[in-house]
Structure 1
Amino acid sequence: MLLEYFQMIDRITSVDMEAKVLEASSVVPDQSTVFEGHFPGHPLVPGVLLIETMAQASGILIMHTIDFARIPLLAGVKEGKLRDFVGPKTQLDIRAEIEHEGSGFAVTRAEIRSGGKRVANAQLTYTIIPFPTPELQGLIKGQVADMKKQA
């Protein structure tokens, strides 16, 4: 997990195309400039970065279902809940499931657990558009392939 670069997923541990479920994991880094301001002496992962973590897992799942032909962009967060604090060195297990998709949008449910305890969950809505450049498409496909190799 590289908080400063918004690289929130370390490993994709499984993708079930039939069930439309993705599981991933990340470890919060011990040190990050994010922790200098959030909060000095008591470092916590900002809740918005937990939402981003779920959004990235869901986005990767959506791209798998469409063979990376288009890119999903987060359009809405419903029922978002931050249930516990997350600090440095915390192991995070992320799960995303597609609830509905079609006509250029998708809806997912995602959650993050740590030590079996749910720390965040949300329903996420995406608009799905063509990749703006072939270079971005290739970059994202490569990054996702690297995440799978880490498993």
Structure 2
Amino acid sequence: MTATEIQKVLPHRYPMLMVDRVLELVSGERILAQKNVTINEEFFQGHFPGNPVMPGVLIVEALAQAGAIALLKMDRFAGKTPYFGGVDKVKFRRMVRPGDTLTLNVTLDKLKDNIGSAHALATVDGEKACSADLLFLIK
């Protein structure tokens, strides 16, 4: 999926849209996506001047948005809005900096009605940057 196609699925827009491309997608099961991190991101103005590092919470947000695409591509959730229900077991292993391509790999674990969970992994050049278990709600 291209950025334009992603915007037809996700309600997020600049500056909060954190997924640039979808490489693989099995609706309701898993997704492999990318976020191209550039120096033009607004958050780099203050995080941190002279030493730009992508905030960890935004890496988790990128993972959640990727997972949301996998859900929202299911017919029963098309046009709905995804919300965080919780985040567990978050670990940050590597700093993400301008010029990095963040690869977002999300596998949906459980789904009951409009609530579910997923395991998420973000990498840069094959190196683990962040992992988390996500809980979500679709309304």
| TM score, norm. by length of structure 2 | 0.83
Whether the 8 Å contact between 1:38 and 1:45 is mirrored in structure 2 is: yes
In the TM superposition, structure 1's runs of 4+ consecutive aligned residues that sit over 4 Å from their partners are none
- CA shift, 1:72, in A, is 2.2
Is 1:93–2:114 an aligned residue pair? no
- CA shift, 1:34, in A, is 1.3
Deviations, residues 56-95 of structure 1 (Å, cap 9, x unaligned): 0011111123351533211100111111101101011111
| Aligned twin of 1:126 | 136
The runs of 5 or more residues in structure 1 that have no matched partner are 130-151
| Aligned twin of 1:132 | none
**Correspondence for 2:82 among 61, 72, 80:** 72
How far apart are the structure 2 equivalents of 1:78 and 1:43?
26
| SS of residue matched to 1:70 | coil
| Aligned twin of 2:9 | none
Is 1:111–2:121 an aligned residue pair? yes
RMSD: 1.9
Q: Which has the higher helix share?
A: 1
- CA shift, 1:102, in A, is 0.8
| TM score, norm. by length of structure 1 | 0.77
Identity percentage over the alignment? 27
* Pairing 1:36-75 to 2, within 5 Å after superposition: 36-65=45-74, 66-75=76-85
Residue-pair matches, total: 127
